[in-house]
Amino acid sequence: MASMEKRLQKELLALTKDPPAGVKVDSQRICTNLSEWTVDLEGAPESIYEGEKFQLMFKFGSRYPFESPQVMFIGEHIPVHPHVYSNGHICLSILTYDWSPALSAQSVCLSVVSMLSSCKEKKRPPDNAFYVKTCSKNPKKTRWWYHVLLNKVERNSVNMYEEERPCDMK
């Protein structure tokens, strides 16, 4: 779809020109295939991930921006975080239920960065071992059951773009 390509080009331009702190995107590399991006993230200074480097992969399907992009950490270094599984899958409501076409790759980057920066303790989600064994390759196919519940609670109390709670229900 032509309008999707146009939007992705605009998003890429905006992210290259004005990236959030700690985000770097190599637009030359992406240009060959606009529907798959690799974004470099760096742990924010004074956060527990300071100095660590991560890679985030974006896959934009043909129904983007009406459907959320597929976003996950890739590479050797996956951040140890209560919302990030060791296979790179991220539990973040805007990547599934709370996606809106007014969001963008840039706002996803911002959410991931703030998710990392606000974390106080490095640990995996409590169900990591089970999830990694049983999940689909595409994190969008996961039905984040308890996460949905959690997101509903969050929607009533705090800004839902900044999740700070771990994934388990307590």
Which pairs count as long-range contacts for 39-45, CB under 8 Å and 24+ apart, including other chains? 39/15, 39/105, 39/109, 41/109, 41/112, 41/113, 41/116, 43/79, 43/116, 44/113, 44/116, 44/117
**Smallest separation (angstroms) from other proteins to the CB of 97:** 9
- Distance of alpha carbon 124 from alpha carbon 53, whole angstroms: 18
Q: Which of 36, 66, 136, 158 binds other proteins (CB under 8 A)?
A: 66
CA nearest to 119, candidates 78, 164, 80: 164
Say whether residue 153 binds other proteins (CB under 8 A): no
Interface stretch with other proteins, choices 35-43, 44-52, 62-70, 146-154 (CB under 8 A):
62-70
Subset of residues 99 to 138 that bind other proteins, contact rule: CB under 8 A: 100-104
Q: Which of 7, 53, 140, 165 binds other proteins (CB under 8 A)?
A: 7
Interface ranges with other proteins (CB under 8 A): 2-3, 5-7, 9-14, 17, 27-28, 31, 63, 65-67, 100-104
